[in-house]
Amino acid sequence: MSTRMIIRRLGGGLLVLWLVSILTFLLVHLIPGDPAEVIAGENATAADVERIRTQLGLDRPVLAQYVTWLSGVLRGDLGKSLFTDKSVVTSIAEVAPPTLVITVMAIVLAVLVGVSAGIVAGLTQGGRLDRLVSTLATLGIAMPSFWLGLVLVSIFSLTNTWLPATGYADLGEGFGTWLSHVILPSTALGLATAAELARHTRGCVADVLTRPYVRTARARGASGGWLVRRHILRNAAIPVVTVLGLQAGRLLGGAIVIEAVFGISGLGTLAVNAVLQRNYPVIQGYVLLCAVVVVLMNLIVDLAYGWINPKVRTA
C-alpha cells in the first residue's frame, strides 16, 4: 500500500474521531433541562447544583468548554468520575481487560471456525457439507448471543459443572483457570460472527472457483491445498476481511450483554452504571474508546487490503 494511501486513511480516521469527539462532548448539553440539576437529583440544594455545574465547567461558554475538554483528551485526561472521584482513564483501565480478552477471543474463534467452515462449504458447493454449514450458519446468525450464553451455561455449568457459570479470572491465576472463565462468554459472543464469516467465505470461495484463472490452474495440474492457498483464499479474502472489520465493532458492543449474562465486571458494566447514574465523563470516555477501536479496526482492514491485493497498494 502506498504511503499516500496510508496518510489518506489516517487522515480520514482522525476526521471521524474529531467528529465523534464533538458529538460525545455534546452529550452533556443534549439532555433535557440543566445537566447539573439532573445529575444532582431532586433533593439537591442550590449549592450542590452550582458545585456540579462548576465541576463540569458548565458555567463557561460552550466553545471554551469543548476546547478545554478536547485539550485534556489529547493529553490523555478524560476527566474524573462524578461519583468515585477516580479519573476516567483509571476507571476504564481497571475494567477493560475482561472485555478486551473476551472480544479478542471471540474474534479468534470466529475466524478459525467461520473461515474454515466457509472454505469447506465453498469447496463442496451443493454437497452435504455445504448444506450442513449453510444451515448451521443461518441458525447461528438467528440466535441472540444472550440466549446462546444462557444455553451454554445451562449445559456446561449447571447440568455438567464442567465450566464456571459466572465471573472472570486473570491470567495470573493460572492458564487453565483463566481459560475456563473466558471460553463460554467468548463462544457465546463469537458464534454469530463465525456464522456470518462462514456465509461470506462460502460465497466468495464458490465465486472464485468459477473464475478462469482457477480453471487454468487446475488444467495445469494444481490441486489440493496448494490450489486453495495460492489461487482461492487470497482472491476470496477481501470481502471476508471487510465483514470481519465491521463485525469487530459489533462484538465490542455485544460484550455488554454477554458480561451481564456471565456476571463479569467489564466495560459493559461500567457503561451501564454510568448511564444509570448519568456519569457523563465516564460515558464520554467509553464512547471515545469505542470510536478509537472501530477506527483502528477499519485502518487495519485497509492495510490488509494492500497485503492481500497488490493492486490496492498503488491506489
**Mean of the pLDDT values across residues 83-103?**
86
**Mean of the pLDDT values across residues 188-212?**
84
pLDDT over threshold 70, residue 291 = yes
Q: What CATH code is assigned to 97-265?
A: 1.10.3720.10
pLDDT over threshold 80, residue 226 = no
pLDDT over threshold 70, residue 244 = yes
pLDDT over threshold 60, residue 5 = yes
- Tell which residue, 108, 110, 103, has the closest CA to residue 195: 110
Q: For cell 469543548, what's the residue? A: 66
Cell triple for 141: 446468525
Say how far apart CA 71 and CA 94 lie, in whole Å.
23
How does residue 255 score in pLDDT terms, banded at 50, 70 and 90?
confident
Domain layout of the chain by residue ranges: 3-74, 97-265
Percent share of the chain, pLDDT over 70 = 87
Say how far residue 122 (Cα) sits from the centre of its chain.
27
Q: Which amino acid is at 148?
A: L
pLDDT of residue 269: 84
Say how far apart CA 250 and CA 297 lie, in whole Å.
11
User: Kindly report the CA angle at 241 between 237 and 246, in degrees rounded to 5?
Assistant: 155
How does residue 51 score in pLDDT terms, banded at 50, 70 and 90?
confident
**Three-class secondary structure assignment of 260-277:** HHHCCCCHHHHHHHHHHH
List of residues 6+ apart from 142 with CB closer than 8 A: none
Say how far residue 200 (Cα) sits from the centre of its chain.
19
